[in-house]
């Protein structure tokens, strides 16, 4: 009995388990933002001229923009001069083997359970780890290179494949697309770049792991994925941050470009530090993610499990330009305590016979607010297009909120758009049924929530699905009552 | 309607006019109406005429409608309106208590059999003679939320006033024929109040018409208070020409155990915006909102609804259907807001749309804001075309394509028609919808003067 109590209290009190900080010597830039800072970042990264111009262009446009306030979020004022825009683990000369990597750093990734070690072939995932905005280590590079796949840090790509970067950067997310994208374009320090050549099916899952470590810094990484004709890639993204009392800003941009008949699958398990029980601290996660199905019959699918962040502002979108292209969005968003999330998807149908599906499952607990906001737009020439959207919300108590804001715009007659949304709580009869069979209420809720989210979790790659399920349970612990 | 006017602030014209007639406005009207006037005007100045940048007017551009130099009707002028014109709005086999509103001014012809105690008269008269009635209820039309409501409140002088005392059941429906007819392009304002006291019951039928081809902008606000255990049905039939703009805001506040239904049939009209806001303020209240619109040419219809579940145990239900032909455009924006602790709420909303051509567009924005957990809320929206398989089924049975399409469209809207509880009215609307869909009603319904409705 005592044992059981111990387990129970351990389980219900386990909060954010990735909240440690690592003592790594870090190269941090002075707080503040101006053109000199941008020039300095660009110089530190030894970037070519076009990148600097790209950054400055973005910065000048950003200065003229205002922070968006249409989301159903309560965002405290952010002082952009109080943030350091560049933080990198020191002595970051190229690592050619693991032995050269700072052991503290390796330890960090071991704690996070990320297989950086190339020996861990079994895991079968190629990882690009980004800590405080700088890519630390990319694994399996050689294996991938044999197939012609480029998978490296963004700064490496700028140096080694400038023609590809120049051609595709900013295509899906133009510099002045929105406030946070413009900020990212101006100051982004690193990220991942991935290019899959014609006809290649990427043999393993590619993965980026993001970690904010230093205090008072923002993380601004940029991911660019280009899938050439007839290629396929599945990409994973995970993130954690230490527990700190002040809020930290994360404004990332992810761009995906799918050419003829290419398929890109992008999965995210977002687990930034959500702040403590009283809503203190946590990451502001303001992310722009967009994919363009440029080619005919191309496909982009977004799958996300959002459990972390104090405030989430994120709308992974698909622009379906090529005829017969397909866009998918599957999301589970969990908010607890004082978290706020305004997330959803945009599907812009431009090509003929384009199809899109949106499945969004929101789960709110504590005093949180969880909103779905989405746009389905069918342009006049997108004949015979099809969209189906389903947004379900689950409320776990009477102090949280669940909101739905879909926008549907149809401009031709042959397209069919359907949208459904429901909001409800877990039925007392369902809980009773479980209790009757000897399952306690907490476990029962966990089971029901997992069942509710199953439709989306099933879309995740296997290793991620297991992690996501655990994450769901942790996020909801202590929310029953 | 394609005038580029973004450069000019159109609200200046209205501001100038207000300042010009301000003294006369205050002198002529009763204290109870003047009380809100100044603040309403300031709220209008603050907000201006909405552009598409306003989230609430994202899908409706009012700028072209306001570009015309309208004349304001601040005085009651009775223009001759032949009886036969009014009779067109007559619903066969329906005995109604009839009143006429012309360019925003109330006129009653004495027909009717209202029970004792029921007041059905002009707002101007009531505001002067029985201001305590108006003051007792106050206003639920918030001028800070919508500039058009603010503009209405700033200029409002007349409209209809209906009061049904406690426990009184008005058997025959009250019909208001709202006509726009003037020698020049006209801006018309009207403010209406309906008070249905506890346990009372009333049905109101409101028909909008334009009687000549001048341009009109009608900005009306109706406030409806439904008392405890009272029942209220409010039917609207909109049938105006293509150069008319109809801004129609209806606010409903419901008490405990009450039932309220609004039902809007939009047959014709250049630019129509229907704002509808329900406040469910007493437990176990029930609200139903129905609407259907049939648009063609370059017509535009925007149904903008809000339902606020402020207390537990209430139910709301919305059903809106649009049939859009030619280059017409439609918009629907529905918001269900369940306030914290409004538990055991059932709130449903559905919006189905039929696009008949590739030029027709539809924009829909159903929203749920839920801050309580023990609720059942859902919304659904579809945009599509006539089911080809069903069409095939009918054609395989020897029904020609046009007829089959018509049957399908009729079936599509019949779900809304069926919700009309007044039988004679239902038959009439059914007939009108039939005519509208088959193209017999392409011009204003039974119109014998040939206005250039393009």
Instruction: List pLDDT tens digits, range A67-80.
Output: 888 888 888 888 88
Confidence of residue B246 (pLDDT cuts 50, 70, 90): very high
Of A255, A328, A259, A264, the closest CA to residue A288 belongs to A255
Total tally of structural domains belonging to chain B: 1
> What's the pLDDT tens digit per position in B330-357?
999 999 999 988 888 999 999 999 988 8
Lowest mean pLDDT among A92-101, B218-227, B245-254: A92-101
Of B453 and A280, which is predicted with more confidence?
A280
Instruction: Please check whether residue A481 lies inside any domain of the structure.
Output: no
- What is the torsion angle, in degrees rounded to the nearest 10, for the CA atoms of residue A117, residue A121, residue A126 and residue A132? -20
Task: List A residues 69-128 in contact with B (Cβ-Cβ < 8 A).
Answer: 70, 72
Structure confidence at residue A118 (pLDDT): 42
Query: Taking CB atoms and an 8 Å limit, are A421 and B366 in contact across chains?
Result: yes
Q: What integer pLDDT is reported at residue B287 of this predicted model?
A: 95
Q: What is the mean pLDDT of residues B239-260?
A: 92
pLDDT greater at residue B96 or residue B422: B422
From the list A399, A414, A421, which residue is nearest B385 (CB)?
Answer: A414
- Report the interhelical angle of B388-396 vs B401-417 (nearest 10°): 120
pLDDT at position B209: 84
Are the beta carbons of A398 and B361 separated by less than 8 Å? no
* Site from B361, B365, B373 to mutate, A interface, most A CB atoms within 10 angstroms: B373
Q: How far apart are CA B437 and CA B351, in angstroms?
A: 19
**Distance from C-alpha of B420 to C-alpha of B416, rounded to nearest angstrom:** 8
How far apart are the CA of A400 and the nearest CA of chain B, in angstroms?
Answer: 6
Residue B2 forms part of a structural domain? no
Closest residue in chain A to residue B58, using alpha carbons only: A407
pLDDT of B2 higher than 50: no
What percent of chain B has a predicted confidence (pLDDT) above 70? 90
Residue of B nearest to A415 (CA): B384
Name the residue among A187, A107, A101 with its Cα closest to residue A136. A101
Task: Please indicate whether residue A5 or residue B194 has the higher confidence score (pLDDT).
Answer: B194
Query: Does the distance separating the beta carbons of A419 and B380 come in below 8 Å?
Result: yes
Is residue B119 in a domain? yes
Q: How far apart are CA A194 and CA A467, in angstroms?
A: 24
Q: Which of A154-158, A290-294, B76-80, B444-448 has the highest mean pLDDT?
A: A290-294
| Residue A156: predicted pLDDT | 84
- What is the rounded distance in angstroms from the CA atom of residue B320 to the CA atom of residue B93? 28
Number of H helices, E strands in chain B: 10, 20
CB A366 within 8 A of CB A398: no
- Please list, in sequence order, all residues whose beta carbon lies within 8 angstroms of the beta carbon of residue A79, skipping any fewer than 6 positions away: none
What are the pLDDT digits (tens) for B377-435? 888 888 888 888 889 999 999 999 888 988 898 899 999 999 999 888 888 888 888 88
| Least CB–CB distance from B361: residue in A399, A411, A419 | A411
Residue B261: pLDDT over 90: yes
C-alpha distances out from residue A343 to A73, A412, B349, Å: 11, 27, 22
Give the percent of chain B with pLDDT over 90.
36
- Cβ distance A407 to B361 less than 8 Å, yes or no, reads no
A382 → chain B, closest CA residue: B358
For the beta carbon of residue A70, count every other beta carbon within 10 angstroms.
9
Interfacial residues of B (vs A; Cβ cutoff 8 Å): 55, 340-341, 343, 353, 355-385
In whole angstroms, give the CA distance from residue A358 to residue A390: 6
What separation in angstroms does the CA of B182 have from each of B72, B112, B216?
Answer: 11, 27, 9
Determine whether the interchain pair A409/B363 forms a contact, defined as Cβ–Cβ distance below 8 Å. yes
Q: What is the ipTM of this complex?
A: 0.77
Q: What confidence score (pLDDT) does residue B1 get?
A: 41
User: Does the residue A192 lie in any domain?
Assistant: yes
- Residue B184 is predicted with a pLDDT of 86
At B29, is the secondary structure helix, strand, or coil?
Answer: coil
Return the residue of A nearest to B367 by Cα.
A405
Q: Out of A395, A407, A419, whose CB is closest to B370?
A: A395
What phi, psi does A72 have (nearest 5°)? Answer: -80, 60
Instruction: Please report whether residue B50 resides in a domain.
Output: yes
Question: How far B348 CA sits from the closest chain A CA (Å)?
Answer: 9
Residue of B180, B250, B184, B182 lying closest to B218 (CA atoms):
B180
Å from A396 to nearest chain B CA? Answer: 7
CA distance A109 to A89: 14
Question: Chain B within 8 Å of A401 (Cβ-Cβ)?
Answer: yes
Q: Are A410 and B355 in contact (CB under 8 A)?
A: yes
Between strands A87-89 and B315-324, the pairing is unpaired
Token pair recorded at residue A66: 């205002």
How far is CA A298 from each of CA A320, A355, A389, A461, B130, rounded to the nearest angstrom? 9, 11, 20, 20, 70
Domain membership of residue B403 (yes or no) is: no
Total tally of structural domains belonging to chain A: 1
Subunit contact A406:B381, Cβ cutoff 8 A: yes
Q: What is the C-alpha separation between A438 and B195, in angstroms, rounded?
A: 56
On whether residue A158 sits in a domain, the answer given is yes
* Inside any domain, residue B182: yes
Tell me what the pLDDT averaged over chain B comes to: 86
Q: How many Å apart are CA B126 and CA A57, to the nearest integer?
A: 64
Interchain CB distance below 8 Å, B368 and A414 = no
Q: Residue B256 has which token pair? A: 């405990």
User: How many A/B residue pairs have CB atoms within 8 Å?
Assistant: 116
Say whether B408 sits in a helix, a strand or coil. Answer: helix
In angstroms and rounded to an integer, the radius of gyration of the C-alpha atoms of chain B is 21
Whether B373 and A425 lie within 8 Å, measured CB to CB: yes
Strand residue runs (E) in B339-398: 345-355, 361-370, 375-384
Provide the 3-class DSSP secondary structure of residue B342: coil
- pLDDT < 70 regions, chain A: 1-27, 88-140, 210-217, 239-245, 462-464, 473-481
Pairwise pLDDT comparison (B116 vs B353), residue with the higher score = B353
Q: How far is B384 from chain A (nearest CA, A)?
A: 4
B362, closest residue in chain A (CA to CA) = A410
Rounded to an integer, what distance in angstroms lies between the CA atom of residue A367 and that of residue A336?
A: 7
The answer to whether A422 and A402 have CB atoms below 8 angstroms apart is no
Residue with tokens 């993204």: A237
Residue B96 domain boundaries: 11-333+420-438
CA atoms A151, A153, A159, A163: torsion sign: positive
Question: Across the interface, do B381 and A418 touch by the CB < 8 Å criterion?
Answer: yes
Q: Is residue A376 part of a domain?
A: yes
Nearest to A422 among B343, B360, B377 (CB): B377
**Angle between helical axes of A428-436 and A441-457 (0-180°, round to 10):** 120
Most confident of B40-49, B282-291, B435-444: B282-291
Give yes or no for a contact between A182 and A213, defined as CB atoms under 8 angstroms apart: no
Neighbours of A302 (CB within 10 A): 26
Q: What are phi and psi of B215, to 5 degrees?
A: -80, 140
CB contact under 8 A, A424 and B384: no
Domain span at residue A384? 2-476
Mean pLDDT throughout B34-59? 87
């Amino acid at each position: 009995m005592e044992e059981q109590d111990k387990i129970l209290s351990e389980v219900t009190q386990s909060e954010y388990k990735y909240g440690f900080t690592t003592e790594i010597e870090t190269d941090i830039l002075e707080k503040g933002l101006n053109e000199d800072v941008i020039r300095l970042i660009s110089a530190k990264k030894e970037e070519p001229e076009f990148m600097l111009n790209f950054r400055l262009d973005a910065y000048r446009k950003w200065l003229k923009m205002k922070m968006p306030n249409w989301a159903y979020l309560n965002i405290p004022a952010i002082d952009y001069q109080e943030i350091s825009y560049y933080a990198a683990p020191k002595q970051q000369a190229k690592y050619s083997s693991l032995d050269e990597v700072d052991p503290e750093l390796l330890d960090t990734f071991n704690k996070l359970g990320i297989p950086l070690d190339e020996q861990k072939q079994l895991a079968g995932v190629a990882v690009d780890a980004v800590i405080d905005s700088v890519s630390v280590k990319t694994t399996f590079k050689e294996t991938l290179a044999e197939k012609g796949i480029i998978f490296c840090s963004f700064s490496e790509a700028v140096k080694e494949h400038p023609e590809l970067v120049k051609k595709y950067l900013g295509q899906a997310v133009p510099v002045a697309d929105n406030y946070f994208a413009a900020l990212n374009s101006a100051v982004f320090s690193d990220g991942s770049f991935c290019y899959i050549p014609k006809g290649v099916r990427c043999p393993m899952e590619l993965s980026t792991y993001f970690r904010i470590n230093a205090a008072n810094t923002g993380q601004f990484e940029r991911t660019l994925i280009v899938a050439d004709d007839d290629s396929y890639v599945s990409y994973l993204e995970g993130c954690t941050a230490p527990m700190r009392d002040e809020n930290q800003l994360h404004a990332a941009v992810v761009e995906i470009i799918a050419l003829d008949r290419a398929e890109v699958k992008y999965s995210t398990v977002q687990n930034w530090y959500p702040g403590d029980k009283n809503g203190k601290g946590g990451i502001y996660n303001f992310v722009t993610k967009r994919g363009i199905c440029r080619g005919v019959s191309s496909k982009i699918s977004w799958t996300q499990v959002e459990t972390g962040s104090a405030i989430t502002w994120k709308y992974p979108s698909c622009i379906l330009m090529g005829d017969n292209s397909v866009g998918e969005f599957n999301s589970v968003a969990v908010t607890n305590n004082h978290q706020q999330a305004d997330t959803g998807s945009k599907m812009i149908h431009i090509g003929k016979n384009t199809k899109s599906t949106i499945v969004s499952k929101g789960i709110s607990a504590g005093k949180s607010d969880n909103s779905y906001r989405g746009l389905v737009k069918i342009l006049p020439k997108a004949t015979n297009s099809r969209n189906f959207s389903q947004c379900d919300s689950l409320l776990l108590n009477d102090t949280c909120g669940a909101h739905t804001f879909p926008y549907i715009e149809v401009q031709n007659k042959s397209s069919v758009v359907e949208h459904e949304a429901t909001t409800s709580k877990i039925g007392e009869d369902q809980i009773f049924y479980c209790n009757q069979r000897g399952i306690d209420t907490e476990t029962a809720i966990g089971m029901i929530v997992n069942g509710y989210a199953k439709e989306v979790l099933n879309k995740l790659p296997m290793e991620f699905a297991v992690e996501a399920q655990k994450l769901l349970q942790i996020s909801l612990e202590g929310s029953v009552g | 309607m394609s005038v580029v006017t973004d450069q000019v602030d159109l609200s200046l014209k209205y501001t100038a006019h207000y300042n010009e007639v301000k003294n006369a406005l205050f002198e002529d009207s009763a204290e109870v109406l003047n009380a809100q006037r100044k603040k309403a005007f300031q709220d209008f100045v603050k907000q201006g005429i909405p552009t598409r940048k306003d989230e609430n007017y994202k899908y409706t551009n009012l700028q072209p409608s306001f570009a015309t130099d309208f004349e304001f009707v601040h005085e009651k002028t009775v223009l001759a309106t032949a009886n036969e014109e009014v009779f067109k709005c007559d619903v066969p086999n329906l005995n109604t208590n009839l009143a006429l509103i012309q360019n925003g001014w109330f006129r009653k012809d004495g027909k009717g059999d209202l029970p004792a105690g029921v007041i059905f008269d002009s707002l101007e008269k009531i505001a002067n003679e029985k201001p305590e009635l108006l003051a007792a209820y106050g206003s639920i039309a918030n001028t800070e939320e919508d500039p058009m409501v603010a503009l209405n409140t700033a200029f409002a002088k007349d409209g209809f006033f209906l009061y049904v005392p406690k426990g009184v059941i008005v058997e025959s429906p009250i019909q208001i024929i709202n006509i726009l007819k003037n020698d020049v392009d006209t801006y018309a304002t009207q403010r209406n109040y309906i008070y249905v006291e506890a346990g009372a019951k009333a049905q109101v039928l409101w028909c909008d018409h334009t009687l000549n081809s001048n341009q009109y902008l009608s900005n009306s606000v109706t406030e409806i208070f439904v008392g405890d255990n009272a029942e209220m049905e409010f039917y609207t039939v909109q049938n105006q020409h293509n150069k008319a703009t109809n801004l129609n805001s209806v606010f409903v506040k419901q008490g405990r155990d009450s039932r309220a239904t609004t039902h809007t049939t939009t047959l014709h009209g250049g630019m129509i915006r229907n704002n509808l806001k329900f406040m469910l303020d007493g437990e176990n209240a029930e609200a139903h909102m129905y609407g259907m619109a049939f648009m063609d040419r370059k017509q535009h219809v925007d149904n903008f609804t809000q339902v606020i579940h402020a207390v537990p145990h209430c139910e709301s239900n919305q059903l809106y259907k649009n049939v859009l032909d030619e280059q017409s455009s439609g918009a629907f924006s529905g918001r269900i807001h369940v306030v914290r602790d409004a538990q055991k709420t059932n709130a449903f909303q559905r919006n189905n749309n039929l696009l008949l051509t590739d030029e027709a567009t539809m924009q829909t924005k159903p929203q749920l804001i839920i801050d309580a957990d023990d609720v059942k809320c859902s919304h659904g929206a579809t945009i599509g075309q006539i089911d080809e398989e069903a069409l095939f089924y009918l054609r395989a049975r020897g029904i020609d394509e046009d007829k089959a399409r018509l049957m399908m469209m009729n079936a599509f809207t019949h779900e809304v028609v069926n919700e009309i509880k007044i039988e004679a009215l239902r038959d009439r609307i059914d007939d009108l919808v039939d005519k509208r869909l088959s193209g017999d009603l392409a011009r204003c319904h039974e119109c014998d003067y040939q206005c250039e409705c393009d």
